Amino acid sequence: MEKPVAIVGLGALGSLLAGLLARAGVPVTGVCRSKQHRQAIEASGLLLRDAAGESQLRFPVFEELPGDQSYALVLVLVKSFDTEAAARSLAGRIHPQTPVLTLQNGLGNAEALAVHLAPDQILAGTTTFGALREAPGIVRLTGRGECEIGAWRPAAEKYLPQVKQLFARGGIECRFTSQVAAALWRKLAVNAVINPLTALLRVPNGELLELPGLEPVFGAVVEELWRVATRHHIALPTPPELEAEVRRVCQLTALNRSSMLRDVEQGRPTEIDAINGAVVRWGRERGVLAPVNEALAGLVRAISAAASKAVTAGRESQ
pLDDT tens digits, one per residue of 5-59: 999 999 999 999 999 999 999 999 999 999 999 999 999 999 999 988 999 999 9
Q: Is the pLDDT of residue 64 over 90?
A: yes
Shared domain for 213 and 165, answered yes or no, is: no
Shared domain for 190 and 295, answered yes or no, is: yes
> What is the residue range of 53's domain?
5-178
Q: Which of 3, 79, 158, 187 is catalytic?
A: 187
Shared domain for 89 and 214, answered yes or no, is: no
Shared domain for 185 and 131, answered yes or no, is: no
**CATH code at 141?**
3.40.50.720
- Domain-ending residue, one of 131, 158, 178: 178
CB contact set of 270 (below 8 Å; sequence gap of 6+) = 195, 199, 260, 263, 264, 300, 301, 304
Shared domain for 207 and 86, answered yes or no, is: no
Number of H helices, E strands in the chain: 11, 12
- On the CB side of 81, CA atoms within 13 Å amount to 8
Q: How confident is the model at residue 284 (pLDDT cuts 50, 70, 90)?
A: very high
CB atoms within 10 A of CB 255: 11
- Whether 3 sits among the annotated catalytic residues: the reply is no
How much of the chain exceeds pLDDT 70, in percent?
A: 99
Shared domain for 156 and 242, answered yes or no, is: no
Q: How far apart are CA 91 and CA 33, in angstroms?
A: 18
Shared domain for 143 and 252, answered yes or no, is: no
Shared domain for 269 and 171, answered yes or no, is: no
Find, among 1, 27, 30, 25, the residue nearest to 13 by Cα: 30
Find, among 215, 196, 209, 213, the residue nearest to 253 by Cα: 209
What is the rounded average pLDDT of the residues 251-274?
94
- Domain-ending residue, one of 154, 178, 202: 178
Q: Is the pLDDT of residue 84 over 90?
A: yes
CB atoms within 10 A of CB 101: 27
What is the chain's mean pLDDT, rounded? 95
Shared domain for 71 and 14, answered yes or no, is: yes
Shared domain for 24 and 165, answered yes or no, is: yes
Number of separate domains in the chain: 2
Kindly report which listed range (20-24, 47-51, 256-260, 314-318) carries the lowest average pLDDT score: 314-318
pTM of the full predicted structure?
A: 0.94
- Domain-ending residue, one of 178, 204, 224: 178
Shared domain for 65 and 127, answered yes or no, is: yes
DSSP state of 2: P
Q: How far apart are CA 149 and CA 168, in angstroms?
A: 13
pLDDT at position 316 is: 67
pLDDT at position 308 is: 85
Shared domain for 42 and 90, answered yes or no, is: yes
